[in-house]
Amino acid sequence: MSFLLRRLSFYFTAFLIAISFNFMLPRMMPGDPIDALFAAAQGKMDPAQMDAVREMYGFVDGNVFEQYLSYMQSVFTLDLGPSVLMFPIDVTTVVGMSLPWTMFLALGSLIVALILGVTIGTYSSYRREGFFGQFVPPFLAFISNFPYIVTALLLFYFFGLQLELLPLAYTYDPAIDPGFTLEFIGSVAKHAVLPMGSMILVGIATWVFNMRNAMINVLGEDYVTMAEAKGLSSFRVMYRYAGRNAILPVATAIAMAIGFSFAGSIMTEVVFNYQGLGNILLKGIMARDYPLIQAILLILVSAVLTANFVADLLYVWLDPRISK
Amino acid sequence: EIKQGGTLTVPIINTGFVENFNPYTSGGLFEGVLYEPLMVFNNMTGNVEYRLAESAEYSQDLKTITVKLRDGLSWSDGKALTAKDVAFSFTMTKATPAFDQKAIWTTGNLQSVTATDAKTIVFKLNNADSTFIWGLPKYHILPEHIWSKVADKDLPTFTNPNPVGSGPMTDIKYLKPQQMQLCRNANYYLPNRPYIDCITFRSYNDNSQVQPALMKGEIDWGSNFIADIDNTFVATDPKNNHYWYPANDAIHLYVNTKEAPFDDLNVRKALSMALDREEIVDIAAYGYPTANFNAAGIAELYGPYISKDVTAKYKDITKFNPEKAKQLLDAAGLKDLDGDGFRDMTDGKRVEFDINVVNGWTDWIQVVQMVTEYYEEIGIKANVKTVDWAVYDSGLKDSDYKMSINWSMVATNPIEAYQAYFSTSQIGKSWHAGHGVHSPEIDALIDSFGLTNDAQKQQAILDELQEFTAANLPFIPLFSNATWFQYSTAKLVGWPSKENPYVQPVWYDGGKRNLIINNLHLK
Amino acid sequence: MDTTNNPEVVLSVRNMIKDFPIGQSSSKNSYMRAVNDVSFDLRKGEALAIVGESGSGKSTGARVLTRIYEKTGGDIIFKGKPLQQYIDDHGTLEYARQVQMIFQDPFGSLNPVHSIYHHIARPLLIHKRADKKVIDKLVYELLELVGLFPAVETAEKYPHELSGGQRQRVAIARALAVDPEVILADEPISMLDVSVRLGILNLMADLKDKHGISFMYITHDIATARYFAEKTAVMYVGHMVEWGNSDKVTQTPQHPYTQLLLSAVPEAGQSGRRELGAKKGEIPMWKPDTKGCPFSARCPRALDCCNESFPEVTQIADDHFIRCHNI
Amino acid sequence: MNNSITSDANAPVPGHKSEFKKKCHSAWIKTKAFFHGNPPAIIGVSLMTVILLGALFAPVLTTHNPEKRVARPHVAPNAEHVLGSTRNGRDVYSQVLHGARKSLTVALFAGIIAMTIAIAVGVTSGYLGGKIDEWMNFVTNVFLVFPQLPLLIVLAAFLGQVGSMVITVLLGVTSWPWGARVIRSQTMAIRNKEFIISAEVMGESKIRIILVEILPNLISIVFGGFLGTVIYAMGAEAGLGILGLGDATEVSWGSMLYWAQVSSSLYTGAWWEMLVPAIALALTGGALALINMSIDQVSNPKLKTGPHMKLWKKMNRETMKRRGLL
Amino acid sequence: MKEALLEINNLCVDYVSANGVARAVNNVSLTIAPGETLGIAGESGCGKSTLAFAITRLHKAPALISEGEIIYNGRDVLKMSDKELRDFRWNDVSIVFQSAMNSLNPVITIGEQLTDVIVAHKRISFKQAAVKAKELLGIVGIHGDRLKSFPHQLSGGMRQRVVIAIALALEPKLIIMDEPTTALDVVVEREILNELYDLKEKFGFSILFISHDLSLMGEIADRIGVMYAGNLIEIGDAKTVFSKPSHPYTKGLIASFPTIHGPKERLYGIPGDPVNLLRLPTGCNFQDRCADCMDICKKEDPLLAELNVDYHAACHKL
Ligand SMILES: Nc1ncnc2c1ncn2[C@@H]1O[C@H](COP(=O)(O)OP(=O)(O)OP(=O)(O)O)[C@@H](O)[C@H]1O
Ligand SMILES: Nc1ncnc2c1ncn2[C@@H]1O[C@H](COP(=O)(O)OP(=O)(O)OP(=O)(O)O)[C@@H](O)[C@H]1O
Ligand SMILES: [Mg+2]
Ligand SMILES: [Mg+2]
């Protein structure tokens, strides 16, 4: 138990550091949202109006320490103020709108890539000498080194534009009303194929290699040989005796991968105009929408920390050797 | 015989739609759609298209404007739209400076707005200003019976749920993050208008996504840069896919004349002569914009106002003539002293400067890249400097640049552009005034424009300003931007076009799009 | 037993205690006592064998002596001076030179990325035993001394190119390089092939006899203890329970634990089930405030007092000591 | 004893003259062994060699100035422009070679920075342990759980236009924690190895133990981590470039992709502008990944494959036949 | 001699490595009778474990059983199909691995590791198997509650017993024990040996007992085989191998063990180092270390010759 407590306190401290950093970030950088707003308006705004607008958005200078305190307060009350980009809508609302999609995209692709990768990794290490084990992993290493965006663009171009097989944008067909209907779910699935597909393509190799390395270490262990000597079926040996142990080191990597997956989703969302966090993050950055950027970073940090914590729990659960 | 019905689909570049129908904070999404303007100044035809207003008149001393509304106006909820609403709409922005789009209150020229009767609104000004009226369409006419209920301090964050407007489309059918639809206003003041039933906004990230949407026929009206449009868009359906790119704002290279060697007029001339504008337009901008050979600071957008004499007189300056440019530079004493292929100042220091351009504005970056190549031909070392917007912005305003690419103002009348260019009061405030060419006479000349309502006198002033600009050359003209306008006649017709240029087809201008929406109908 | 001033005694340990923290809290009971009240003398040219089962604190004792671990209590007297004083006078490096350690694992005690030459040359350089110029010769001499021929070729090899026995010889040569007074050999042969074990033992015996080096020989193989060492000490859960002349300890064991140990040793020709003279039981974890005799739980002769106090030292014969309540 | 060692210590001895030669030889043998029967290594290293040579000799190999307009926009590959021209009329072939220089430099230096920090933190923390370890480990973990790429995007955007220098440093200082963690755990494993303890007992200084005794044992994971970081940095540079957060006027693979994207080269049929840098990236990344994979095969003895496996298969087949099982 | 339970004829096992093919087991022939304990002794790397693995055909690449046959009850193990092999394993021959403590999967409860072998071979439910498992643990002196424990929660000795319990699960005819007690303390070792004596009495299985501890071997085995560099160099009844060894290596080996009780004198062991399997000399493998090496030893491989009834050794001197 003290193990978990210690981890928890670590996460909390890390969280504090992260959000403090989050606070400092915009204040260290040049330019403010109003400038950006001006750039976007390309001169259609009267300069005399700028200060008024600045005030409207709440960008008035003040004591940094006071700002910090009120920022902290806003973080813990989840009241992050209005977004600049979508003024006067609350950042919380904006984020709440896109977060589910990003979670769906990032976690969905992570899970699919994980399952596929682990399966392929297990198999390719079991049949290491065969064609599969010799060629599939290097091939995947190759595929996954296309940058996210390029993979996404290529898929977008070929499947969306050329073959017209799959939709080009959005999370679902705007003509359909969201709800628990087959039509809606189908539309969501159809719209997710390309963005998820590109993320899976890029992500899968990591798991193949992680799993393969872990498996190969485990396959040499005595307990696997013993399981074979016991006359168990090779399926049981592969999954219960070898895979079960090989998944352990892979489990720690999952938490880490969540950060990467979110990063990947930023890129893919932009390409596929997927209404997720990444999409608005990038727009928010361009617009210097600090409240929005801060909120999204906050969410990312919390997500990664939570994922790490869950991974810790998972590890404790998976590995009985860790003291409880 | 005009058919009623049909839906217009347009792309909106944003991060998704949210429930905010406040016209001042929703990024211009509803101007001319949900909210009808008082009038539209049509720069394409030179006419004033009266919308809610029936007329607008200046008093003799140019200190009073009397606006008369049409008969029988009503809000979409059926309540009458009166002069009181209009007066309220203008007064409201006094308490909310952020809404004061043209700073009519903040800069103090507007004294009062009053509704003298149900149809008449009177604007009283402190000083005579014949240009004041051009700012009126920027203010949204809002129903007093709704907006007066909102406290002044809450106005900026007021999201105006269940909006009531006077525009052609006021019925919000649905709003999803990626798409929203507005349908016709049953109480629209024009009979049978709009012809179309609904307008659908689709959200896109950027041009690169609008392009495939256009190609696949998902949208009817594009206002975006589309690469290689003939092949990618028109070719997919030549009968219905069209584009028309009339000239828009003029793009110049701004030169800081306070610094050597740009303080030498001949050097500026040489830098202008070194450029092959046709080629730049052709390569860097796919040939869509029009090269600008007018050294007078304005371009095709202001066509009727351009002085032919001035253009002719200074046409050599804008003609591609590297040999002449070299001669001028030689004469200016900029010679290659150390034989590295680049010219040096008389003190032996190489002439080398950066051309500022905003990071990410790729069309301009390409233009500037080409410019540097041309300058290299005449032995001038120029570098492309891509900077963040904030840096670019303050550079122009604080005159902290040697050369910077920039656009001129799009306004109802070129005088506004000249105001921004030369008024001493604009130094440090506008991007256009940092070049260092100013004089009290010019200030006076510009100010005199607003004191008259006589078109001929005004033109004379403009001619003089053009002459002054061309003679001093603080801007090296490059080209007129294109007005990006792609349209599909697959479903709807009535678009403005080269053949029927009834308005400049700018989606992002509420008044102009209002005219177009009113003109579109089923095929 | 006070032999502190005996010139023959090189290293003398008095009531040494070593605690290890367990868990996070720092209360008294969160320590385990790996070594408790251990005293012995190590004479010049003499070997002391420490035997005892796994986890009885043998290695810990040796590691305290080489200052890998800090002692918790007791005194270590080196060459007539308390250890701290000796170090103050002569420096850490000098003590490190005088007291060398040979590790249990010949596969782990040589750095796989360095040649044998490096392994032998480094101590010579650290302790400035030789000039860079003449160092080669010294290295070869050392290798030959421990029976690694041809020395030049061996020196160029890497650890993985040597067999276990050869590696252990390198480890010995490395210890010898700095001309130590004391060598602490921590199970130096337990990982070796049966056929080469004896070679190492004989080599150490030669070094002891011919070069006067004192050995502390740690093992749980009581037969080799008797074979190699003049003196033997038997440890159980951090305590010395019986010690003295090796033959006496192994031939006439008096402590019930020693007897148990000896009775368990397999012997050819004694086929069949052999009852152990002790109860089954787990080895206790010794804490600073644990009372009694550590063996009491398994002891067939346990008395009531065995749970109360740790027995005093009793001399039962010439050079034969035991700590037991029930002799 | 004392005498036996130092007696004729002054006599000259045949030195270790041949040591260098021998080292070279053994290095050669090791290299040969590394490649033998290790197709990933062969493919990876040859690919990488080609790419590196191309980058190194870019000025000689290129046909055009990569930063100059030398053709009409979007000229399809032809004899004059083997890989076509960009929208801006630049020669794609020349650009991709020159771009390699920038992209690889960024990636390599980011890798070096990251690995240096990782080694410093990892080894110190793993070896010294105690409070120092606790703190360093904490810092590492904090860095580790930070979502790096989004952060990078934000940072890059806030810094405005960022040149390759800034990207290098940003990538370098944000990519080290993973390596540090792996190195730390390896160091902790090695720290308790007897050869380290015996060096300590011998009186080696801490710094020497870290540098001479521990570090060489970590070579393969350091190198593996380095390659991993390089791959990552290359992808991240490209990603930032494509998002327009890099310096579009520099010629790098990232900026090439950026221009390819803004000029909609795929839609306009100018696939070469997009695909060439993309494939260059993928090839380099793939090559590095293959090398990394082959290093794994060498450093992890259980992964060892080689020509002997072929022999084994052959022998196995023969015996199976003999037993009538085939 | 009784009908053999297991008969190994001319078995050869090769390890194919990058540096060449090493023959870890060379032409080994032996038999094990029902109820007999055969000890295989020999130093590290001489091929004992390799031989043990070969019997249940556990070798994977790069190891290869290249020659010979392994006849169990008239069937050649090497010719069995995968299914037959799975049935044969553990039902007929079970194996206690060297370092048996590590042959338990650390993340699976010992209960499951016990029951799954029963379920895999018998048509019974997990519940019934669990009852049986509890019984088995009781046999080796561990309380049935321990079924839910993970291996790390048990001491080394207990783990060793669990492994033995698993080996007994299907009551096989032959149990191969590869150095089952080397990692343990003498006291624990003794406890386990006692257990083993009892079990053997109860179940009557044969044991192939592998160890390099000759004293232990002399105590437990009926017959002893001694291996050197892949060859079986001497095999015969335990007493004779111990008291009157024939092969110089066996002699050396026996002389390498100091005893507790005997006279204390200097022992000489065997000089030199074990041979490298990749660079075997022509002739006898032991020639370099042998005090009585003759010319013929350098030319010809000595063959296993019958010296006595059921007593074989391979040396040119004999
Ligand atoms: N660094 C340490 N921290 C905590 N406990 C330790 C440490 N080193 C040893 N111990 C504990 O101290 C006790 C004695 O260990 P030590 O290694 O001295 O035993 P040993 O007699 O050498 O055993 P072996 O024969 O297995 O080597 C053991 O219970 C061990 O767990
Ligand atoms: N996987 C392998 N690849 C190559 N050679 C191997 C492999 N496994 C074992 N060997 C070699 O085969 C020989 C016999 O090994 P084996 O494990 O059978 O020895 P052993 O007699 O059981 O030794 P120990 O007493 O140490 O267990 C050794 O020389 C060893 O180096
Ligand atoms: Mg020990
Ligand atoms: Mg073995």
Instruction: Provide the edge-to-edge strand list for the sheet that holds B179-184.
Output: B7-13, B198-204, B179-184, B169-176
Residue B407: DSSP 8-state: E
Q: Out of A260-269, B350-359, D144-153, give the one with best mean pLDDT.
A: B350-359
Please tell me the predicted confidence (pLDDT) of residue B476.
Answer: 92
Q: Is the pLDDT of residue B516 over 90?
A: yes
- Cα distance between residue D200 and residue C68, in whole Å: 8
Q: A97 and A9, same structural domain? A: no
| Residue B56 φ/ψ region, left for φ over 0, alpha for ψ in the -120 to 50 degree band, beta for the rest | beta
Here the CATH number for the domain that contains residue A130 is 1.10.3720.10
Residues A101 and A208 in one domain: yes
Residue A85 in any domain: the answer is no
A112-142 pLDDT, tens digit each:
999 999 888 888 887 777 778 778 888 888 7
Average pLDDT over residues D25-48: 79
- Residue contact C156–D199, C-beta within 8 A: no
Which residue's structure tokens are 């009240």? C37
> What is the model's pLDDT at position C23?
66
Q: Which residues of B154-187 are buried (b: 16+ CB within 10 A; e: fewer)?
A: ebbbbebeebbbbbbbbbbeebbbbbbbbbbbeb
What confidence category does residue E36 fall into, taking pLDDT thresholds of 50, 70 and 90?
very high
Same domain flag for A173 and A46: no
Measure B263 CA to nearest chain A CA, in Å. Answer: 27
Q: What is the pLDDT of residue D73?
A: 82
* HSE-CB for E43 with a 13 A CA cutoff: 26
**Residue pLDDT, tens place only, E181-206:** 877 888 888 888 888 888 888 889 99
User: Would you tell me how many other CB atoms lie within 10 Å of the CB of residue A76?
Assistant: 9
C179–D2 C-beta distance less than 8 A: yes
Express each pLDDT in E111-120 by its tens digit: 999 999 999 9
- Inform me whether the C-beta atom of residue E237 falls under 8 Å from chain C C-beta atoms: no
pLDDT tens for each residue of C155-164: 888 888 888 8
Can you give E249-263 as a three-state secondary structure string? HHHHHHHCCCCCCCC
Ligand 2: lining residues by beta carbon, under 6 Å = E 15, 17, 22, 24, 42, 44-50, 62-63, 98, 212, 277
The residue count for chain B: 523
A100 in the same domain as A49:
no
Q: What's the pLDDT score for residue B244?
A: 93
Q: How many domains does chain A have?
A: 2
pLDDT at residue number B173: 92
How far lies C292's CA from each of B129, B273, C260, C277, in Å? 108, 106, 19, 20
Alpha carbon separation from B433 to B293, B424, B479 (Å, rounded): 21, 8, 20
Position A256 in a domain = yes
Q: Looking at chain D, which subunits does it touch, using at least 3 CB pairs closer than 8 Å as the criterion?
A: A, B, C, E
Report in angstroms the alpha-carbon separations of C313 from A323, C3, C322, E308.
40, 16, 6, 56
Q: DSSP secondary structure string, B175-223?
A: EETTEEEEEE-TT-SSTT--SSSEEEEEEESSHHHHHHHHHTT--SEE-
Beta strands in chain C (DSSP E): 9-21, 31-43, 47-51, 73-78, 81-82, 99-102, 182-186, 214-218, 231-236, 239-245, 313-317, 320-323
Give how far E24 is from chain A: nearest CA, Å: 19
Relative to beta strand B221-222, strand C99-102 is unpaired
In a domain, A204, yes or no: yes
Euclidean distance between CA atoms B462 and A8, whole angstroms? 72
User: Using the beta-carbon criterion (under 8 Å), do E186 and C271 form an inter-chain contact?
Assistant: no
Ligand closest to the CA atom of residue E21: 2
Report which listed range, A287-291, B383-387, B480-484, is most confident.
B480-484
Strand ranges (DSSP E) for chain E? Answer: 6-17, 20-32, 37-41, 63-72, 75-76, 93-96, 174-178, 206-210, 223-228, 231-237, 305-308, 311-313
Pairwise pLDDT comparison (A148 vs B124), residue with the higher score: B124
Q: What residues make up the domain containing A300? A: 91-318
Flag whether pLDDT at D155 surpasses 80.
Answer: no
CB atoms within 10 A of CB B202: 22
> Residue D4: is its pLDDT beyond 50?
no
Q: What is the pLDDT of residues B146-201, one digit of tens each?
A: 988 888 888 888 888 999 999 999 999 999 888 999 999 999 998 888 899 999 99
Name the domain boundary from A76, A107, A141: A76
Residue D244 has its nearest CB partner, among B226, B286, B360, at B360
- pLDDT of D191-245, one tens digit each? 888 889 888 888 888 899 998 899 888 888 888 889 888 988 888 888 888 877 7
Which candidate from A229, A240, A320 shows the least CB-CB separation from E89? A229
Q: What is the pLDDT of residue B492?
A: 93
Task: For C126-178, write each residue's pLDDT tens digit.
Answer: 888 878 788 888 999 999 888 887 888 888 888 888 888 888 889 999 998 88
Domain identity same for A71 and A119: no
Q: Is chain C touching chain B, with at least 3 CB–CB pairs below 8 Å?
A: no
Q: Above 70 in pLDDT, residue B451?
A: yes
All residues of chain B having their beta carbon less than 8 Å from the beta carbon of residue A94 are: 15, 18
Which residues of chain C register pLDDT less than 70? 1-7, 23-29, 281-282
Q: Can you tell me the distance from the alpha carbon of B207 to that of A309, in angstroms, rounded to the nearest whole number?
A: 41
Q: What is the pLDDT of residues B39-83, one digit of tens each?
A: 999 888 888 899 999 999 888 888 899 999 998 899 999 999 999
The overall average pLDDT reported for chain D is: 81
Closest among E168, E157, E154, E165 to E109, alpha carbons compared: E154
Please give the interface size between A and B, counted as residue pairs whose CB atoms are below 8 Å apart: 122
Domains of chain D and CATH, by start: 57-322 (1.10.3720.10)
- Cα(B200)–Cα(B183) distance, integer angstroms: 9
On whether both A257 and A111 belong to a single domain, the answer is yes
Closest C-alpha residue for ligand 1 atom 10? C34
Same domain? A61 vs A96? no
**How far are the Cα atoms of A8, A179, B230, D136 from residue D133, in angstroms, in the given order?**
19, 52, 64, 5
Nearest CA in chain C to E198: C273
The pLDDT of residue D160 is: 59
Quote the radius of gyration of chain B (alpha carbons, Å): 25
Best of C19, C31, C56, C60 for a ligand 1 pocket test (most atoms within 8 Å of beta carbon): C60
CATH topology assigned to domain E6-102+173-313: Rossmann fold (3.40.50)
Say how far residue D31 (Cα) sits from the centre of its chain.
18
Mean pLDDT along residues D292-312: 70
**Following CA atoms E171, E172, E174, E175 in sequence, which dihedral angle do they give, to the nearest 10 degrees?**
-60
Q: CA–CA separation, E13 vs E25, rounded Å?
A: 5
Q: Dihedral angle at the C-alpha atoms of C88, C92, C98, C100, nearest 10 degrees?
A: 140
Instruction: Residue C227: name the closest of C49, C64, C8, C2 by CA.
Output: C49
- Mean pLDDT for the stretch of residues E254-271: 82
3-state secondary structure of A298: helix
Task: For residues D325 and D268, give the distance between their C-alpha atoms in angstroms, rounded to a whole number.
Answer: 61
How many angstroms away from the CA of D45 is the closest CA of chain E? 21
The answer to whether residue A88 scores a pLDDT higher than 80 is: no
Name the pLDDT band for A50 (thresholds 50, 70, 90): low
Closest by Cα among B509, B45, C191 to E183: C191
Residue from C178, C198, C180, C179 nearest C188 by CA? C198
Residue A150: which of D148, D278, D303 has the nearest Cβ?
Answer: D278
- Nearest chain B alpha carbon to A33: B390
* Closest chain A C-alpha to B499 CA, distance in angstroms: 29
Taking a C-beta distance cutoff of 8 angstroms, is the pair B14, B507 a contact? no
Q: Is the pLDDT of residue D12 over 50?
A: no
User: Do A147 and A8 belong together in one domain?
Assistant: no
Q: Give the mean model confidence (pLDDT) for residues D163-182.
A: 85
Answer with the one of A15, A44, A76 that is the final residue of a domain. A76
Question: Residue B123: in which H helix or E strand, if any?
Answer: strand B120-125
pLDDT 10s digits, A153-181: 888 888 877 777 778 778 888 778 878 88
pLDDT at C298: 85
For the segment E226-231, the average pLDDT, to the nearest whole number, is 92
Per-residue pLDDT, averaged over E279-303, amounts to 87
Chains C and E touch each other (3 or more Cβ pairs < 8 A) = yes
A101/A146 same-domain check:
yes
Q: What ipTM was predicted for this assembly?
A: 0.80
| SS3 readout for E166-205 | HHHCCCCCEEEEECCCCCCCHHHHHHHHHHHHHHHHHHCC
> CA dihedral defined by C274, C277, C279, C284, rounded to 10 degrees?
-110
If phi over 0 gives left and psi between -120 and 50 gives alpha, with beta otherwise, what is residue D324?
left
Per-residue model confidence as pLDDT tens digits over E133-144: 999 898 888 888
The whole-angstrom separation of Cα A45 and Cα A61 is 23
How sure is the predictor about D325, in pLDDT bands with cuts at 50, 70 and 90? Answer: confident
**Does residue E166 contact residue E95 with C-beta atoms inside 8 Å?**
no
A323 within a domain of the structure (yes/no): no
In the prediction, which pLDDT does C4 show? Answer: 46
pLDDT band at A263 (very low <50, low <70, confident <90, very high): confident
- For residue D11, what pLDDT is reported? 40
Percent of chain D with pLDDT strictly greater than 70: 84
Q: Is the pLDDT of residue A256 over 90?
A: no
Whether residue A98 is contained in a domain is answered as yes
Residues A216 and A245 occupy one common structural domain? yes
Alpha carbon distance A66, A57 (integer Å): 18
Q: What is the pLDDT of residue A40?
A: 55
Distance CA E163, CA E172 (A): 14
Q: Give yes or no for residue D13 having a pLDDT over 60.
A: no
Do A137 and A282 belong to one domain? Answer: yes
Percentage of residues of chain B with pLDDT beyond 90:
36
